[in-house]
């Protein structure tokens, strides 16, 4: 360095806990010193703790568990940015105890995830995957009047459990199909939002009894763990479908497999599973379930949007500004 050159400012150290798109990495490298886990598998809690020890920031995905153990050695950490809207992988009390800001990525994935709910709903109701496998296996010999019958989506009743941004976007899609919309939520929506979605608030039990298609879109928490189990499945119609694009653990997977085997309900469409990416092998033995590997937000545009928003949040926090999507504003001092 020549004597006239100013010393370069100290760049914050940031852990990028999972492989991201190259342009995101380039953007971060402009501002930060990066410790990059260029892998598609998540770091263990112990590895995460170890690598967070000397960091000011971190970019993680929904599968890194950010709790007491991961934060145990973090003495300089200011912000952890989740590349996901759901943040059940964050222990907010543990973040608050260490005065670490947490952020998520709402809005950018709303429509893409609502589209996926509809893709699963259509495929499940009309047996798209089951019949395709049957055709590929060479079983198609004749057209049959009563062959491969599904259930209608149009002009049916959809019951949405969890009426946040994504739930509302699903409801609006349902209106295009002439559907009657019921919903259940922690709190009833205001009248204007209900009107915009033409949705009627009902008790959970009523929704399960009356809906032709039950769609799960609420966050996972201790309160929503196994919200749908054997008892709730028994309330549903034998012609009904169950769609889960929310989180594994909201449905009791063993109870659902039993209900599918016994035709307690018609079929299910699942994007998320208890203990994913492991799958209860029982799902592979029942034909009346459509299974996708947690791809609700997986379009190129949306995943780039999520990454960029997560980086916006991270850089704002590191610069001492309030991140746009702060999940623990209670520790923010303006």
Nearer to ligand 8YV, 62 or 159 (CB): 62
Q: Is 18 a catalytic residue?
A: no
CB 303, CB 85: distance < 8 Å: no
Shortest reach from residue 312's CB to ligand 8YV, in Å:
16
Q: Which residues bind ligand 8YV (CB under 6 A)?
A: 61-62, 83-86, 109, 296-297
d(CA 79, CA 242): 37
**Residue 276 is a catalytic residue:** yes
Active site residue 31: no
Distance CA 292, CA 295 (A): 7
Shortest CB 84 distance to ligand 8YV, Å: 3
Question: Which residue in 18, 127, 237, 247 is the catalytic one?
Answer: 247
Selecting among 209, 276, 304, 322, the annotated active-site residue is 276
Q: Shortest approach of ligand 8YV to residue 106 CB, angstroms?
A: 9
**Residue 330: how many CB atoms within 10 A of its CB?**
8
Which residue has the closest beta carbon to ligand 8YV?
A: 62
Whether the ω angle into residue 277 lies within 30 degrees of 0, i.e. cis, is yes
Angle 67-69-72 (CA atoms, 0-180°, nearest 5)?
105
State in angstroms the smallest separation of the CB of 297 from ligand 8YV. 3
Q: Alpha carbon 154 to chain centroid distance?
A: 26
Residue 61 Cβ vs ligand 8YV, minimum distance, rounded to whole Å: 4
95-100 long-range CB contacts below 8 Å, 24 or more apart?
95/66, 95/71, 95/328, 95/331, 96/328, 96/330, 96/331, 98/71, 98/74, 99/331, 100/71, 100/74
Residue 317: which of 306, 327, 305, 307 has the closest Cα? 327
For ligand 8YV, give the closer residue by CB, 20 or 264: 20
Give the CA count within 13 Å in the CB-facing half-sphere of 60: 28
Catalytic residue ranges: 247, 276, 294
């Amino acid at each position: 360095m020549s004597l006239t050159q100013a010393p370069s400012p100290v760049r914050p150290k940031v852990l990028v806990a999972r492989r991201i798109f190259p342009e995101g990495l380039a953007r971060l490298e402009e501002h930060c010193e990066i410790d990059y886990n260029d892998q598609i598998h998540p770091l263990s809690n112990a590895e995460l703790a170890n690598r967070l020890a000397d960091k000011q920031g971190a970019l993680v995905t929904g599968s890194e568990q950010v709790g007491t153990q991961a934060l145990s050695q973090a003495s300089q950490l200011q912000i952890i940015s989740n590349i996901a809207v759901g943040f059940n992988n964050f222990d907010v009390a543990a973040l608050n105890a260490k005065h670490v800001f947490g952020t998520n990525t709402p809005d950018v994935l709303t429509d893409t995830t609502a589209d996926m709910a509809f893709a699963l709903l259509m495929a499940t109701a009309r047996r798209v995957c089951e019949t395709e496998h049957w055709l590929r296996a060479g079983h198609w010999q004749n057209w049959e009047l009563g062959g491969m019958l599904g259930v209608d989506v149009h002009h049916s009743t959809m019951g949405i459990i969890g009426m946040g941004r994504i739930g509302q976007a699903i409801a609006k899609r349902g209106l295009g199909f002439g559907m009657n919309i019921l919903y259940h939520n922690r709190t009833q929506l205001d009248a204007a939002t209900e009107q915009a979605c033409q949705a009627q608030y009902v008790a959970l039990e009523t929704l399960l009894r009356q809906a032709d298609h039950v769609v799960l879109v609420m966050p996972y928490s201790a309160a929503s763990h196994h919200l749908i189990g054997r008892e709730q499945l028994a309330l549903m119609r034998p012609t009904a479908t169950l769609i889960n694009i929310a989180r594994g653990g909201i449905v009791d997977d063993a109870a659902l497999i039993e209900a599918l085997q016994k035709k307690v309900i018609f079929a299910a469409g699942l994007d998320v599973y208890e203990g994913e990416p492991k799958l209860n092998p029982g799902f592979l033995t029942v034909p009346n379930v459509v299974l996708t590997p947690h791809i609700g937000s997986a379009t190129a545009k949306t995943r780039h949007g999520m990454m960029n928003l997560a980086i916006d949040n991270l850089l704002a926090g590191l610069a001492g500004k309030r991140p746009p999507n702060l999940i623990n504003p209670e520790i923010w001092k303006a």
